[in-house]
Amino acid sequence: MSRNNLKGIFFITSLFVLFGCGEPKVEKAEKPNIVIIFCDDLGYGDLTSYGHPTIKTPNLDRMASEGMKFTNFYSGSPACTASRYALLTGRYPVRSGFGWVLSPRSPRGMHPEEITLAEGMKNASYSTAMFGKWHLGVTKTEYLPLQNGFDEFLGLPYSNDMIPPKWKDIPLIDGNDTLEHNPDQTKLTKMYTERAVDFIERKSDEPFFLYVPYAMPHVPLMPGAEFNDSERGAYGDVVEEIDWGVGEIMKSLKAQGIAENTLVFFTSDNGPWIIKDEKGGSSGLLRDGKGSTWEGGMRVPGIAWWPGTVEAGTIQTQRASTLDLYHTAFSLTGQEVPKDRPVDGRNISDLLQNASMQKDEAYFYYGLNNRLMAVRKGPWKLHSVTYSQTGKDYFEGKLPLLFNLSIDPSEKYEVSDDNPQVVAELQQLITAHQKQLESEPTFFDQQ
């Protein structure tokens, strides 16, 4: 079937869903379903709704127009493993005890004493599933998703470039078993989407948590056969296929009559891999990309969709991050976050209803090897250390660096000399945070 035919079928089907033709009516549940869609290396500027001129993302654009688009949303790290740890634990990646990117032979992984988001949802009697990239340890069975709160798992255990000849192979894992080695990656996005839709259909009568961390647009770019005509080339093809997948998930929620019972959040694990040139994405107006704690490395698209709860067409300019999704999910399901360990994220339920957060807390940027490199509070961001995969030193060794992100999100205009009091206050926040870390419990030293 041609891609144009697929688009036509999708359009006709969407009309039926949009106008409720044959849609079952379900009363709003006390506990919402939660769906998190997590891209790999998608940049702040890679969606039409975030300013890309040629990549076509109609489903994500509709998701934003029907929901809330965040303009100051951050991933927990500018690298794969650390950002996934932050999302699933609500904790800064430095607390994990492992490096920011685990290799296939890394001896460490998700510690069994961590309480993951999936485990929290299971405690609230949710069905849980994950279809996509794990990258939180593979050398022990205890590191894998089924041992960390997920009832179902299909996906790759690490990044899709960890393949021969550098690595022995990459397994496609179903549950705890290897389904095949070195799978055809052009089928991954469709496979994960179809499993997600199947899960929604099977679990529509009970609360569920669904996590879909797509393997792309991480390099190598492997779009499905039907996605081959983006003006942006292979990178655009991959993003447009992910957009199709998001559309299928939203369509399924509407068809099952549970859209108003479901919070869907779409975001990325870090910024674009800019050293890959045209194979990498765009951070839009932001500086740098993946691997850095410049805004382009950690500020990412963030879209929340929850018909009837999240007001349509909302632009949310207040800061939030993937760490906040953990605390928010616990709150929405009537639970408290664990009290025996630090949980760094916040409950942003108020933000989802377009209310202001009562307290503006500091946000810490952890970069290379989970090192603390910058802090933001309010509009002010202070870099104490900088790094770029490009090798560039943008300000020729000057440190610290201060920027007012409300005025200058591109971090072009360094203003530390004019604001010494702000510099001192942010340096004090870094010092206090580091001292607090030293006194708080960890699990990794027992591993």
pLDDT of residue 20: 41
pLDDT of residue 388: 98
| 39 classed as catalytic | no
Q: Which two tokens stand for residue 319?
A: 């800061």
22-36, 160-174, 175-189, 364-378: which range is least confident on average? 22-36
Among residues 80, 111, 218, 327, the one annotated as catalytic is 80
DSSP string, 89-107: HSS-GGGGSS-SS--TT-S
User: How far is residue 336 from each of residues 123, 195, 203, 328, measured CA to CA in Å?
Assistant: 11, 30, 25, 10
The answer for residues whose C-beta is within 8 angstroms of residue 43's C-beta and 6 or more apart is 268, 271, 272, 280, 281, 282, 283, 284, 289, 296, 300
Q: Which two tokens stand for residue 180?
A: 């095949």
Is pLDDT of 396 > 80?
yes
**pLDDT mean over 149-165:** 96
**pLDDT mean over 234-246:** 98
| 181 classed as catalytic | no
pLDDT of residue 358: 64
Residue 406 C-alpha from the chain's centroid: 23
- Is the distance from CB of 81 to CB of 137 less than 8 angstroms? no
Is pLDDT of 283 > 60?
yes
**pLDDT mean over 349-365:** 87
Q: Which two tokens stand for residue 65?
A: 């127009």
- In percent, the amount of the chain with pLDDT more than 70 equals 92
**From CA 351, how far away is CA 371, in angstroms rounded?**
29
Is pLDDT of 441 > 90?
no
**pLDDT mean over 375-393:** 97
Among residues 39, 52, 111, 135, the one annotated as catalytic is 135
Nearest to 78 by CA among 357, 355, 288: 288
DSSP string, 113-157: T---HHHHHHHTT-EEEEES---S--SSGGGSGGGGT-SEEEE-S
**From CA 101, how far away is CA 93, in angstroms rounded?**
11
pLDDT band per the 50, 70, 90 thresholds, residue 447: low
Q: What is the mean pLDDT of the chain?
A: 92
Q: Is 87 exposed, middle or buried (0-12, 13-18, 19+ CB in 10 A)?
A: buried
Give all domains of the chain, ordered by start, each with its CATH number.
32-352 (3.40.720.10), 363-446 (3.30.1120.10)
The answer for residues whose C-beta is within 8 angstroms of residue 19's C-beta and 6 or more apart is none
Q: Which two tokens stand for residue 378?
A: 């309010």
Crossing angle of helices 322-332 and 80-89, rounded to 10°: 20
Please write the tens of the pLDDT for every residue from 263-276.
999 999 999 999 99
pLDDT band per the 50, 70, 90 thresholds, residue 7: very low
pLDDT of residue 359: 76
Please write the tens of the pLDDT for every residue from 40-67.
999 999 999 999 999 999 999 999 999 9
pLDDT band per the 50, 70, 90 thresholds, residue 29: low
Is pLDDT of 2 > 90?
no
Greater model confidence, 26 or 307: 307
Q: Which two tokens stand for residue 289?
A: 């990309």
**pLDDT mean over 213-219:** 98
Q: Name the percent of the chain in helix, strand, coil, to the closest 5.
A: 35, 15, 50
pLDDT of residue 313: 96
- Is the distance from CB of 86 to CB of 75 less than 8 angstroms? yes
101-105, 178-182, 354-358, 369-373: which range is least confident on average? 354-358
Crossing angle of helices 188-202 and 233-255, rounded to 10°: 10
**pLDDT mean over 97-106:** 92
**pLDDT mean over 397-414:** 98
